[in-house]
Structure 1
Amino acid sequence: MKRTLIYTLLLGASLSLSSCGKDFLNITQIDRLTGNNYWTNKGDVDQYMGGIYSTFREATMTNIFFPASGDLRCAPISRTSATSGPGRDYISLLRQNNLNMLFARQADFSYFGFPQITKWNEFYKMVQNSNIVIYQLENKDMPFLSEAQKNAYKAEAIFMRSLAYFFMVRLYGDIPYYTTVNTDPLPRTNMLTVLKNISADLDASYKELPWTYDDPSVVAVKAMRGSAIALNMHINMWIAGFTNEDKAPYYEKVAAQGKELMEENEGAYALLELSRTREIFKGRTKEGLFEIVQNFNYGESFHLSASYSDYVLHAPNKVTEKSYIYYESKFMEKMYPPSEQDLRKTFWFDEDIYATNGDFQCLKFANVFMEEGEDNNPDDNQMIFRYSDPILLRAEALAELNRDDDARTVVNVIRKRAEATDITDSGEDLKDAIWWERVRELLGEGNFYYDLVRTKKVLNSEYTTATMSVAAFNSGGWTWPIDKAALINNPFMKLNNYWN
């Protein structure tokens, strides 16, 4: 398949998100996207771009993607009486990183969609359709767009393509890498090469994106300059985590990007008071950099298994009397020391923060709207990048560069919002404190496992009791299996041997 694929890919699901203001995620049927009938006005470009966002939502919010890949894997969690049956054994298997057994028992867990995580099809639809947008912008006469608009659409497509590649690298490691509409079979490209390339793409294009939008309904759910900077910071922290080269240039880049994001955003982004937690996680605030939108009022609900909140709420916020999981006491007390003041304990938890009997709840995601007897998750957006995330990446990079004073200043921006005591550590203790601050601040937002992996802390029982062995890690035990369908019509393809 080559360029004949240009007009036959994607836009498979029809998803109308009219609550997003100007219908920027509305999808037109594929037979209306072809030939001379398409790419004739700005609305066509908006519709095609909307399909890429829709595909990202399809890849991640129709199954257990974020809890399984980011929150529960290798986490120091325990099951409660509400999940004592064999149908919830996947929680233990994720904790143990026993993905082979998880898939061997797939019939027991079919509701949760684990096989979808092994299939990269939707992510490659994002890549291919982003490439199509870029190709059309560069090759088709579009007099209805100004040069600035063309550049902004191209930057948006580059962001979505880079996001897809970043997610795939974190899942699978090495991956096939495409930057044109050509889709001939390719072998897997070294993950560090992919990461360096997409970082360079973002470097060249991110300033074409606005810091924010005048239309509040698309803030944070449509790519902004802050979205691209946050993604690029994550990419470079992953390069630093895995490269055998000098890590300092990557930390320097993250530190500079974080400074730009915090000091040059023209008032687009801010940390809101924690008393506004419901607003923050409902989404589209100044604290959001990139989110996946849902709204019950418009029938835009994620799959029930897709949200972390499903595991950490109970009545009256869920129909169950007990939460499904709790965190081990040592971990919780390290994350939130009982004797220390921290407003996050007040607004994100209740009096049962340290409970191990199923009474534990995490109330970050608590915009609950359901009738008696219904079993719904909160009506919150899925956070991909929240402003506090790159702030803490900046602090981490500064600490790695031994710029301790600067690192403390940055991490304490987060601490001050929570009215917590300033971090005063230095050296390795400072690096450790910043890592725990990321855990504390970003719990349940799909970062925990990935932070364990990129920092190699998944090997150390000080950070999780569900550790991975060095041998397993070095053999690719940190990745996900790749579905065997990837071998079809691709003689160059190899799967992740650790899971075979």
Structure 2
Amino acid sequence: MRYDKIIKRLLLAVVLLMTTACQKYLTVDPIDRLTGNNFYQSKEDVEANMAFMYAKFFEKIRESWVMGATGEARSGEIRATVNAGDSRTRPLDPEERTVVEVLGANALPLAINSTMFSDYKLEEITKWQGYYQVIQSANILISKLEEGIPGVDGADQARYTAEAKFIRAFTYFWMVRLYGDVVYYTDPYFSNSLPREPMVSVLDKCIADLAPHKDQMPWTFGDPAERGARPGRGAIIALLMHMHAWNASFDRANSQAHYTEVATLGKELIDSKAHRLYSLTEQNWAEVSKGRTEESLFEFYRSINYGDDTWISEPSWDTFNVRNHYQFWSHFLRWPYLFPRHNKSISAAYFVSEYMNSIYPEGEPDLRRDMWFDDIASDNGQFALKKFGYNVFTSGNEEGYPANSIIIFRYSDAILLQAEALAELNRDGEAIASVNLVRQRAEASPYSGGGGNDLKDFIYMERCRELIGEAHRYFDLIRTRRILNTAWTMAPMNLDQYNRGAWTWPLHQDARRYNPHIVLNEYWTTTGR
């Protein structure tokens, strides 16, 4: 495909990621040039700004091992394989604790500052400036759409406004889960110094801002290439569900109202039939992992068909490149899911058998156990999370990693969120019906137990089973408060730690450089050191 055609496709479909390969020909102006009336003169300009925002967000999460470090490893069930032949598994000390284990112990300052783990660039996770550049760009675009842009009116204007507000709300939601309280603003050229606002208030404002625009987005797009890669109505619903579910835990006085919204939104999504669960075959799951399927609600799509294979195939572990560190699952794969065999014969890390056997009890039927894992209870480098290993396009002595998309919201995630909310509302029959939708796809036995806490615990465990490796685990522990109970995690914290923000990430000093009102996260400036 010629470069000029690629540019047009990327800008019009917004199916782009800021990669080393595409930067050579993708002409998207930086944010400081997207502020004047001279830019917003056409629909193409709007598309270009949309492209910039998606690319900027993805560029930010590609800076570090953010998916693994924030959403999975801190739960405590991951161990490093000894002598895996990889810089990521060299022993830190006589106990041979490595980065996944340091993160699992919630020793974030050590993980961030130790030269042993410098390749992970974990300090970048503490910096929120890149996210605020996305928010600033969204604020400007929304303002320009309100003023009026030539050639953009009616349904187009409403759809672009909804999409820009989705990006803005999604970025705030992402930051809240990392840092807790954040600075919230929606003015396009706001320059005053503001203090951090309580995260519940921030998400309430995001919900109020985004919800009225939900119906202005289509369920599906005319171009299948935009499915998942560009947020449709299902993506907005999923984001609203997640924001309500988060606030249900931290805004206890209004938890029932939040759960009611999650249940209602989930029903709307399911009743739409715009999305579906693919039957679990190797071919189908390879398609889901690759992206752009009816199971995807929102993702960052990538494809070797657009010439970006130079960054899809991650470099060898000996020449590890941090710009490919965003993938969580590469640590849990080995040959024949990674190539070449001579230095990819064992996985760099594994989930411990105690945890794996608790979520996938041996002898209980479940296609996911067979399809998504090799040597599930090996407690060594033979463990493979082959859930992410089906899209391998190399062989022999070539260097190669599976080419998967970064799926943020998936249909089964939304179904299980709805089931969780229904159980919290004591609507047990409906909750059981929802969780069994996911169980049925996995050809697992339907839930037949009682209601109440037994059902709530089962739904939580189903999220562990279904979403393993997709960066939901740690955030689920936080928002359900199961992080406080050793029955649910190998890395528990006490209530005092939880209340003081031990679950957050430290905030970099740079946040205070131009804003003296910023107070850093208290836990990490005191006893969290």
Band the TM-score falls in, shorter-chain normalisation: over 0.9
Q: Is 2:337–2:386's contact at 8 Å kept on the other side of the alignment?
A: no
Q: Within the alignment, does 1:75 sit opposite 2:98 as a pair?
A: no
Q: Is 2:485–2:492's contact at 8 Å kept on the other side of the alignment?
A: yes
Measured in 2, the distance between the counterparts of 1:93 and 1:309 equals 18
User: CA offset at residue 41 of structure 1?
Assistant: 1.2
Aligned-partner SS, 1:289: strand
Residue 464 of structure 1 is matched in structure 2 by 489
Q: Which residue of 134, 144, 158 corresponds with 2:165?
A: 158
Q: Deviations over 1:244-282 (max 9, x none)?
A: 313111111100000001002xx4211011111100010
Q: Which residue of 401, 405, 411 corresponds with 1:387?
A: 411
Residue 316 of structure 2 is matched in structure 1 by none
Aligned-partner SS, 1:383: strand
Measured in 2, the distance between the counterparts of 1:263 and 1:477 equals 39
Residue 316 of structure 1 is matched in structure 2 by 336
User: CA offset at residue 373 of structure 1?
Assistant: 4.1
Measured in 2, the distance between the counterparts of 1:373 and 1:304 equals 20
Q: Is 1:309–1:378's contact at 8 Å kept on the other side of the alignment?
A: no
Q: Within the alignment, does 1:289 sit opposite 2:297 as a pair?
A: yes
Measured in 1, the distance between the counterparts of 2:325 and 2:35 equals 36
**Cα gap change, 1:380 to 1:20, in 2 (>3 Å):** farther
Amino acid at match of 2:76: A
User: CA offset at residue 498 of structure 1?
Assistant: 1.0
User: CA offset at residue 346 of structure 1?
Assistant: 2.2
Unaligned runs of 5+ in 1: 1-15
Q: Deviations over 1:207-232 (max 9, x none)?
A: 11111111111110111110010000
Measured in 1, the distance between the counterparts of 2:66 and 2:332 equals 16
User: CA offset at residue 21 of structure 1?
Assistant: 8.3
Q: Which residue of 500, 506, 521 corresponds with 1:475?
A: 500
Measured in 1, the distance between the counterparts of 2:36 and 2:9 equals 30
Measured in 1, the distance between the counterparts of 2:34 and 2:491 equals 49
Q: Which residue of 436, 444, 451 corresponds with 1:420?
A: 444
User: CA offset at residue 482 of structure 1?
Assistant: 0.5
Written as runs of structure 1 = structure 2, the 5 A alignment for 1:154-193 is 154-181=161-188, 182-193=190-201
Measured in 2, the distance between the counterparts of 1:175 and 1:322 equals 41
Q: Within the alignment, does 1:259 sit opposite 2:267 as a pair?
A: yes
**Cα gap change, 1:23 to 1:147, in 2 (>3 Å):** closer
Measured in 1, the distance between the counterparts of 2:262 and 2:28 equals 39
User: CA offset at residue 77 of structure 1?
Assistant: 1.6
Residue 85 of structure 1 is matched in structure 2 by 90
Q: Which residue of 156, 159, 162 corresponds with 1:149?
A: 156
TM-score (norm 1): 0.92
User: CA offset at residue 372 of structure 1?
Assistant: 4.0
Q: Within the alignment, does 1:499 sit opposite 2:524 as a pair?
A: yes
User: CA offset at residue 142 of structure 1?
Assistant: 2.4
Amino acid at match of 1:314: R
User: CA offset at residue 169 of structure 1?
Assistant: 0.4
Aligned pair count? 480
User: CA offset at residue 20 of structure 1?
Assistant: 5.0
Task: Pick which of 337-346 and 300-309 moved more.
Answer: 300-309
**Cα gap change, 1:294 to 1:430, in 2 (>3 Å):** same
Measured in 2, the distance between the counterparts of 1:33 and 1:205 equals 24
Aligned-partner SS, 1:291: strand
Task: Pick which of 94-103 and 319-328 moved more.
Answer: 319-328
C-alpha RMSD over aligned residues: 1.8
User: CA offset at residue 110 of structure 1?
Assistant: 1.9
**Cα gap change, 1:376 to 1:73, in 2 (>3 Å):** farther
Q: Within the alignment, does 1:335 sit opposite 2:335 as a pair?
A: no
Aligned-partner SS, 1:86: coil
User: CA offset at residue 359 of structure 1?
Assistant: 0.7
Q: Is 2:263–2:418's contact at 8 Å kept on the other side of the alignment?
A: yes
TM-score (norm 2): 0.87
Residue 318 of structure 2 is matched in structure 1 by none
Written as runs of structure 1 = structure 2, the 5 A alignment for 1:8-407 is 22=12, 24=14, 25=16, 26-30=26-30, 33=34, 35-81=36-82, 82=84, 84-86=89-91, 89-105=98-114, 107-139=115-147, 141-181=148-188, 182-264=190-272, 267-275=273-281, 276-297=284-305, 298-299=307-308, 301=311, 303-318=323-338, 319-350=343-374, 352-366=375-389, 367-370=391-394, 372-407=396-431
Q: Deviations over 1:268-323 (max 9, x none)?
A: 21101111110001000000000011223422636332112211101122242211
Percent of pairs with identical residues:
40
Measured in 2, the distance between the counterparts of 1:373 and 1:232 equals 46
Unaligned runs of 5+ in 2: 1-5, 17-25, 313-322
Task: Pick which of 161-170 and 77-86 moved more.
Answer: 77-86
Q: Is 1:459–1:467's contact at 8 Å kept on the other side of the alignment?
A: yes
Amino acid at match of 1:270: R
Q: Deviations over 1:190-210 (max 9, x none)?
A: 100001110111211111111
Q: Deviations over 1:310-360 (max 9, x none)?
A: 11101122242211222222211111111111111222123x121112111
Task: Pick which of 301-310 and 322-331 moved more.
Answer: 301-310
Aligned-partner SS, 2:133: helix
Measured in 2, the distance between the counterparts of 1:32 and 1:190 equals 32
Amino acid at match of 1:308: F
